A and B are shown apart, each in its own frame.
Chain A
């Protein structure tokens, strides 16, 4: 049935194309719908410049960890320890920088190395001892929660020096010296739109050359128009507050890097192959254990980065930092369309999924909805997204 579908290939109608890629468009549409909804019910508070800035600051660490979690989940595993690791590394940073007065740069590198080591230990047991990742990382979750309590002796440690805080609360200065509006922010927005459009058109040209099926031109333009409008809108709003937050820059750079890794590199390909069918991958000469190991090391590094960003934002390391964050991260990846069985899922999906969670958190907080209802609603959204996925898959089969 699918064969006859693509026999018509390029001539396929917009409606039919959307129906076949309902998951991707559905996700984008859901994010827009949720934003519009909260924009209306919060009386315009959601998209005020200061709140947009806050949205990025509040969700950066979740998005950064979702990048690593996507690779872990695509590889057919899960990591429950990221919240605890994040808290632990934040505490470690505080002890090194505040208590031991180590130089910020040295401490930051040490923290990343520590994250890599944590990921390596957990990945070692998952990959080479074949212990289910659920169990290994559940153990890790308990261990590092306990270790951060021990490290902080139950207290909060802070404040951090300015240079460390800048990791999270800093803004990129306006190179054009205008200040408000921040011309750099607007210029970056325009440049980003142009780069996206250029990449999109180049991809279409390449697809056409190899006879690959592609989204209809009208849809391509419409989708890019929406994305461009959103980008320009956001950068314009940011420009009227304090410009581009540092953390937005690290987030965007990391996202681009991980999109490239997952879609264009051999290592990315192989992770998908391992998650899709580990036995076949192994018999194709792929070193499956090593890849699984590496996805956990990568996750550890990103969790460490997230821990530092979180501590820098609060300007203190607390024993409760990162509590239950792993659930938000995992939820973001699944809302973004990854499959629990491994082998499928996209970085962009995970990022959008994280934003959906973030906007809901933020919007519901503005509305003063209690944490009780917030949890219920987030849970239902996760379930709905996955049910939608399964429903579409069954319809396809």
Chain B
């Protein structure tokens, strides 16, 4: 049978980065095709090329859809041809009803006047198809995530979908909801809908996929056909992570001292969805001079863990105990957490780490303003000296500390965030994706800085989605999945395969 979709030799370049390099993908009519790959491998970029988010002409290569060459200039074009993409972050309006959401932008109307009876009638039909027993007039915001996902699929069906793309559809769903969704996909398949599903959960992939394409570092590694019988999780894992490990990490003398930080039975619930537990009975220790990694995929709860420890900046109903140097520590607010010796370097430096409109100098001292002040009056000379000291120590490339941080490169911005936290003289540094979005040279410098910190006896927790980085930098690695640690590995004996296997076998 001819393929419904063929993407041939797709190459997509962003300034300075080749996101996709000669990727090919072939999807047969009526199958469920899974795409697997690590974070940042290029899966989402590929789907954005397909759906026209990146319009024709902004990439190289060819898309053949339904026997014709396709040149989508926007998402509207691809939807007209029956290609519907459902993103990980659902695009529903919570305050509107199910019916309104399904026909949003596609209203059942005559001359601008909405035909409500028809809208509701058709909605009921669609809801029956996806197996959602809710009244069409129900507000979407009152539904759980699983049901919202079904509304999204109903919406896709209303547009006469031929090729349905789902980006991590089960990442935020409970076990029961996930099963129901997978069953629905199989049913749609029986009705002739072709699906592409991006997923990290290999057990789910194995259950429903007819074939799997593995993408790594922006290139197609393999396409595996389930009918051939070699669709095993081991095979997929090997293809996902099998990259060569170069010597991209500075050496460090590993010498662990006393236990600095200890977390006992930590539990955290989602701030809005009251019945959703984000962190479950988690315990860990970090010694002085030790770098402990936390591996896991997006949504595993790593950032939530870090922020809930750091002054309860995330979640509710937080339970458990934090000990610093063996004594219980009060980390109930951010300023108390800082006083207890904690520092948290956020993964999102622009929204959570920096005041972009302000200078390097002011950002550097922000978390420890009292250290450069006397009786509430800032000593600007002292402030400048501190900022200059860190500018040199961190090798921030800028003519002066009076530059606004928004004019700095990503790597230099990250160094300003690090400066800010080092100036609080922490005992434990939690680094959340410390090298995200910065270039290779700056990464090496950040790694060297981390090594210097651990050599100086700081305890470091490093959260990262880049497995080579964790393997190259850490002493021990906790593997996290769905709010729990599912395994602990000594970095010396860990391998990307070992980590990935722990993640995908929940």
Contact = CB atoms under 8 A, between A and B. Distances in A.
A277 B310 CA distance: 18
A266 B369 contact: yes
Contacts of B244: none
A87 to B, nearest CB: 34
A287 interface: yes
A285 B367 contact: yes
Contact of B346 (A206, A266, A276, A283): A283
Contact of A283 (B352, B358, B407): B352
A262 to B, nearest CB: 11
Contacts of B376: 265-267
Contacts of B358: 272-273, 276, 343
Nearest 4 CB-CB pairings of A with B: A285-B335, A284-B367, A276-B355, A210-B384
B399 A281 contact: no
Contacts of A9: 399-400
B171 interface: no
A1 B399 CA distance: 12
Interface of A: 1-3, 6-7, 9, 206, 209-213, 264-267, 269-270, 272-273, 276-277, 279-287, 343-344
A3 B407 contact: yes
A279 B346 CA distance: 11
A287 B334 CA distance: 8
B357 A282 contact: no
Nearest to B397: A3
Interface string B420-442: 10001000000000000000000
Contacts of A267: 376
Nearest to A7: B399
Nearest to A344: B357
Given A3-B403, A9-B400, A285-B367, A280 B373 contact: no
Contacts of B384: 210, 212
Given A280-B354, A282-B313, A206 B380 contact: yes
B370 interface: yes
A210 B381 contact: yes
Nearest to B408: A3
Nearest to A341: B357
A197 B145 CA distance: 64
Given A266-B369, A284-B366, 6 more contacts: A2-B407, A210-B388, A280-B351, A280-B354, A282-B334, A286-B366
A235 B234 CA distance: 87
A206 B344 CA distance: 34
Contacts of A286: 334-335, 366
Contacts, number: 101
B378 interface: yes
A266 B379 CA distance: 10
A213 B402 CA distance: 8
Interface of B: 310-311, 313, 333-335, 337-338, 344, 346, 351-358, 362, 366-367, 369-370, 373, 376-378, 380-381, 384-385, 388, 398-400, 402-404, 407, 420, 424
17 contacts: A3-B398, A3-B403, A6-B403, A9-B399, A210-B381, A210-B384, A264-B377, A264-B380, A269-B378, A276-B355, A276-B358, A277-B351, A280-B354, A282-B334, A284-B334, A284-B420, A343-B358
A267 B338 CA distance: 18
Contacts of A284: 334, 366-367, 420
A2 to B, nearest CB: 5
Contacts of B353: 280, 283
Nearest to B398: A3
A343 B355 contact: yes
B334 A283 contact: yes
Contacts of B398: 3
A323 B430 CA distance: 53
A283 B377 contact: no
A264 B344 CA distance: 27
Contacts of B311: 283, 285
A209 B338 CA distance: 32
Chain B CB within 10 A, most for which of A269, A282, A344: A269
A283 B402 contact: no
Contact of A6 (B352, B357, B399): B399
A209 B354 CA distance: 27
A280 B399 contact: no
A203 to B, nearest CB: 10
Nearest to A285: B335
Contacts of A212: 384, 400, 402
Given A265-B377, A284-B366, A284-B420, A213 B400 contact: yes
B144 to A, nearest CB: 25
B378 A265 contact: yes
A158 to B, nearest CB: 41
A309 to B, nearest CB: 28
A3 B354 CA distance: 18
B357 A276 contact: yes
A2 B337 CA distance: 36
B374 to A, nearest CB: 10
Contacts of A285: 311, 333-335, 337-338, 367, 424
A2 B355 contact: no
Given A277-B356, A284-B366, A6 B334 contact: no
A287 B420 CA distance: 17
A282 to B, nearest CB: 6
A247 B189 CA distance: 81
B357 A209 contact: no
A392 B177 CA distance: 52
A277 B355 CA distance: 6
Contacts of B377: 264-266
Contacts of A344: 357
